Each structure stands twice: as structure tokens, then as C-alpha cells.
Amino acid sequence: MIDLDAIDRKILAVLQEDGNLPQREVAERVGLSQNACWRRIRRLTQDGVITGYGARLDTARLGLDLTVFVLIQTNNHNAAWSRSFREEISRIDGIVDAYRIGGEWDYLIKVVTTSMSGYDRVYQELTQRVSGLDRVTGLFAMEELFSSLPLPLPIGNR
């Protein structure tokens, strides 16, 4: 874990809100000179805290009206199978997030697609590409309440 001071946390909060801001504006918002802000952002990137920048897209405007959370259960828990599973699901268009989880289920996958037939395509590709799946079930989102909220930043020692 990286130790963040108050200024680092302010920079990260500002960038989570709008990663497209010019550095000058980020510096103004956190009370630093532009050069000092640039050095901190560079350090946070080099340390792997900042991993990239992207745009948030409106799924409805893009016709991506169906979100499905897929739960998977397997008896395969060795490293080779897990690596293969990760590689295979990363190649399936429509799978946008994936987690190994604890509890009754082993994996949770988020699928964003156009329709039930779009989900069926993802489901068919998943079950054809990956052997050793014992149970696969989908939970269909009825309404998105919120998504991609800023991360809570740890207080740290400084």
C-alpha cells in the first residue's frame, strides 16, 4: 500500500472526478504549483496508483440496455486453470468486469450488452471457451442506481 498525504489524496479525488482536467486546473484545485502537481501525478503514476485515464460512456445512448451479473461455480481451483479462465473471458466481447470471489460462488462477471440475445451470445461463447464450469447463472439488472463512484481514499500516516 502506498502512503498518501493530504495533497496526494486531493489530487486523486480531483482526477477521479474528471481525469480530463488540464494539469494547471488540477494544480489550482489542490493548491500547488503546476510543476509540483505534475511531479506528484508522475510519481503516483510510476508507483502504479494511477493506472490510466478513460471516458465514462452512457450505456443507454449506445444501445447497451442489458447488464447481467454472471455467477460461476467450478471445481477447478489450480493456477493453470485460473490463468486460462482469465485469458479466455478477457477475449469475450461484452464482459467488462470479472472477479474471483469468496462464498458459495467462485467468480462474478459483469456483462454489458444490447439485449437478451446479446447476453445469450456471451453465455454461449463463455460455456464453449471455458471447460470445467459446474454452474453458471445470470442476475439481470433492472435499474442502475449508480456506477463508478470515486474510490474512498485511505487517510494514511501523513
Is the pLDDT at 156 greater than 80, yes or no?
Answer: no
What residue has cell string 458459495? 104
Domain contains 14: yes
The count of domains in the chain is 2
> How far is the C-alpha of 120 from the C-alpha of 29, rounded, in Å?
46
Domain contains 38: yes
Domain contains 101: yes
CATH code, 128: 3.30.70.920
CATH code, 41: 1.10.10.10
Same domain, 97 and 34: no
Same domain, 136 and 70: yes
Position 82 scores a pLDDT of: 96
Domain span including residue 99: 66-140
Same domain, 74 and 38: no
User: What are the CA-CA distances from residue 106 to residues 12, 66, 87 (Å)?
Assistant: 32, 23, 16
pTM given for the model: 0.85
Q: What is the pLDDT of residues 105-153, one digit of tens each?
A: 999 999 999 999 999 999 999 999 999 999 999 999 999 998 888 888 8
Same domain, 41 and 94: no
Same domain, 136 and 71: yes
Q: What is the pLDDT of residues 57-108, one digit of tens each?
A: 999 999 999 999 999 999 999 999 999 999 999 999 999 999 999 999 999 9
Q: What is the pLDDT of residues 23-32, one digit of tens each?
A: 999 999 999 9
DSSP 140: E
- Order of strands across the sheet that contains 66-74: 95-100, 107-113, 66-74, 133-140
